Chain A
Amino acid sequence: GENVEQHPSTLSVQEGDSAVIKCTYSDSASNYFPWYKQELGKGPQLIIDIRSNVGEKKDQRIAVTLNKTAKHFSLHITETQPEDSAVYFCAASPNQAGTALIFGKGTTLSVSS
């Protein structure tokens, strides 16, 4: 089955700096890769996703890149702000309807002002 590794487990940056979180996956059949942001006591919120027919996707300060050959994908947050502080999870899913996401273990991002 699929296995998703996520690094780093914690990341501290200064406001305005960039933050990068990396994930690797094992199942070459996976082709959907979402990223979630989870604030304390709340459910995960989908912030961006990428599918295997795309190498990069950007939404304002957030971007995701995918390298299918190397089986890794990354989340890039530019111009970080204190409100970006949260736990970020990457996930992978194969191309089958109704298949659960496999999550990484999460990255706690702290942005200090």
Chain B
Amino acid sequence: GAVVSQHPSRVICKSGTSVKIECRSLDFQATTMFWYRQFPKQSLMLMATSNEGSKATYEQGVEKDKFLINHASLTLSTLTVTSAHPEDSSFYICSASRLAGAFYNEQFFGPGTRLTVL
């Protein structure tokens, strides 16, 4: 159990276009979903925290108008990179959290989406 999928796994787009990435929890309901960005040989950088039915909470320095997050249901969150530029090229990873016991959260990660902006 606890499988998270992402789609697409890889996308190449032209500068100025928008790209949507989907994150789904396949066999559990996610109380919260998180979006991370990872540059080569670096750790995961949290971009935003997303709760179903409410606005996402963005980390400092992350432009909310550029990285639009929608969390429409307990199993689906989407990240839209608007007006993408080459500097947005990166590996984007989502994770989904479920309550395990009364107080503890486990997070399960999707396989990631490689975005290349030409």
Contacts and interface: CB of A to CB of B under 8 A. Distances in A.
Main secondary structure of the interface of A (DSSP, over half): loop
B109 interface: yes
Given A97-B31, A98-B31, A105-B42, A43 B93 contact: yes
A14 B51 CA distance: 44
A73 to B, nearest CB: 15
Provide the main secondary structure of the chain B interface: strand
B49 A105 contact: no
B103 A42 contact: no
Nearest to A99: B105
B107 interface: yes
Interface in A78-103: 89, 93, 95, 97-101, 103
Interface stretch (B13-21, B62-70, B75-83, B110-118): B110-118
B25 interface: no
A43 B112 contact: yes
A46 B97 contact: no
A89 B43 CA distance: 8
B112 A41 contact: yes
Given A95-B104, A100-B46, A43 B110 contact: yes
A105 B31 CA distance: 26
Interface in A26-46: 31-32, 34, 36, 41-46
A7 interface: no
Most A C-beta atoms less than 10 A away, residue of B43, B106, B111, B114: B43
* Number of chain A interface residues as a range: 20 to 34
Contacts of B114: 41
Interface string A59-82: 000000000000000000000000
Contact of A42 (B49, B95, B99, B112): B112
A98 B110 contact: no
B63 to A, nearest CB: 18
Nearest to A51: B104
Interface in B89-108: 93, 95, 97, 99, 103-108
Contacts of B95: 101
Given A32-B104, A98-B32, A98-B49, A43 B109 contact: yes
